[in-house]
Structure 1
Amino acid sequence: MTDREAFDEVAAAYLPEHVTVRVKAGLFYSLVHAALAVKLREQPTGSSVGLIEIGHAAWRQLTPIEQAHTLDTLFTAYIRRVIDEDRERQLSAAAADDTKTYLEPDDLPLLAECLSYVEVIDDGTQLEGVPASSLHNVLSEIDLLRHRLAMTKRDDT
């Protein structure tokens, strides 16, 4: 997998649907890795590495045209960070509210019913294009989270 394919895959997995990624990450990505490797060799173990210094070292190796194209990558990374921080704030606010849930009363039974029609759940089994194993994993995770929450509440009393 190329740097570009890896970047696109990671970005696509985390960006909201309305955000499209169109960047050419490969060259700057490689230069940052090279500058980081140099800094890590130069620094004593356990000392911090200056991130801005690494960024500048990589940036100076680009031509003005490459710098212009690399801005897309930098904007994407920064905007991704802003989106992540916003999502973290939303989740923290929701988590602080004991009554908050994203599930509607019928969601879990309806999802479980979808799986009840599946005879074998393996890597190839899909429901409307969604791997049945993923749906099963989500339902199992919700059960586990609810069980852990119940255990915590019992321990608190």
Structure 2
Amino acid sequence: MAHNNLMLVAQLSGLRIRVLANRFGYDTELARTVHETLAAKLAKMIDAQRKILAADRVLAAARGTADQEDAFYDLHHYQTAWYETWLIETIALLDDYLVDDLTNEYFDFRTGDWHPRDSDIPIPVRVPPEKLCGLVKIIAEIEDITGARFSVENVYY
């Protein structure tokens, strides 16, 4: 996992280019959808890292001034947002699902409603690597670099 934000931006940018280039070699709708979703997620990750870099520059410029405390809290806010957005939950690249084990309910993203979980519904089924057209290796590399986890699953309700 990279701790240097500037290096992370460069690595994520390179991986995004690889995802976009890999997308043109395949004609299945499933592979194209997952490639485009991953490219969009990587763009958001790059934007979040750029906000951290900008806040870090503001903090460096504000050292010894009255604005130092505000700049510190801004940097902390962006770092916390990165952690909460990308590192806590698995990022769904195809279908997303949410199960609340405490209340024994699941959230149906199609309808926007919570439903009682009476059985094993929702059922997530992992998409086989051969249907992703070479994206599995790129996803593994992104996970190694960032610490984020991705899922490519079809969810049946």
TM-score strictly above 0.5: no
Which structure has more relative contact order (CA 8 Å, sep 6+)? It is: 2
Which one has a bigger Cα radius of gyration?
Answer: 1
- TM-score normalized by structure 1? 0.29
- TM-score normalized by structure 2? 0.29
- Which of the pair is proportionally richer in strand? 2
